[in-house]
Chains A and B, each alone.
Chain A
Amino acid sequence: MRLQYPSNINIIKLPCTGKIDLIHLLRSFEKGADGVYVVGCLEGACQFTSGNIRARKRVEQAQEILEKIGVGGERVQMFNLSSSEAPHFVQVAVEMTEKIRDMGPNPIKTAMQKAA
């Protein structure tokens, strides 16, 4: 299909979203990411039975922490789609990019630049 998605997105490939830990999500923001979203398989379709369910819980934990520390919980999101849904993948990428643009840059990045 060769569909285009926003070029600002940096894809990190993992064997399963269950590999993601809370610390990976937090570190991305500590290093200045403006937003992070996890794309997992459809719920009920995980090869490892519950990798995507665990990932969702970790995303929710990250949201709670980021909200409390003033970074913004909305900056991290989870989406479920199957590998055959390329147009949906693009739609999610566009949606997420727009959402983060609306929110503005990660305040940690701005604070780091100020401190440097």
Chain B
Amino acid sequence: MKIEDKTVPIREAPTSEEIVIKIKDLRKCFGDNEVLKGFNMVLRKGENLVVMGKSGSGKSVMIKCLVGLMAPDSGIIEVLGKNIDQLDQMELDELRSDIGFLFQGSALYDSMTVRENLEFPMRRHRKKFEGITDTLPLVKEALENVGLAHTMDLMPSELSGGMKRRVALARAIILKPKLILYDEPTSGLDPITSKEIIELMRNIQHKYGTSALIITHDVDCARVISERMILLVDGINYAEGTFTELIGSQDPKVNAFFKK
């Protein structure tokens, strides 16, 4: 494998392959805290890309810039062929209906039932559901995908952490997105539940043919799900390759990720 340094452009995709996300020289700082210092990334269609980085390295910041929740200081972000920076609110919302987002802490609306949680994204993204008046079958399908059809009328507070994560996953896929962004899908879960979540992610990927960007610092998760990995170190895409390539690396900063 080869370690990218700042000056080397990241591996360009073959022209025949469709690019889903393209990030170029992304920079973001909070006050004196320079978090991203020129991050580059490409995600191709149908691919599972894992971005790994230490806690506080700016993974969540990066993924939030991707969907327009945070404005980067500079850099170019293209998602599904659209430059995020140049979209107005309507276009941005329309683009977002093609993106599923699983938040780090699940982020279920705690004043709503599971069913209302799942119906919420459908309120505005009606265009996608032209002619569908009954949302129940869709909610059911999404919940069945994560094996929680029986929780439909429960409140989030009545669910365990793992169940919440699964409901959040169901909510992320209810709009049948082309791209799913996972912010630490397994953080805070025990190894067995983590495995279940990863299994679900793979099933969904298989069933709907989505592309996925997975942010994690869970090595096991990365091993199972990644087709390609990027290590985020010191605010840049420090290294890139397959799991086996990276785990065999001699670079101490890369090695640090895989040491038990």
Bound pair (A, B): no
Chain A residues engaging chain B, CB cutoff 8 angstroms: none
Chain B residues engaging chain A, CB cutoff 8 angstroms: none
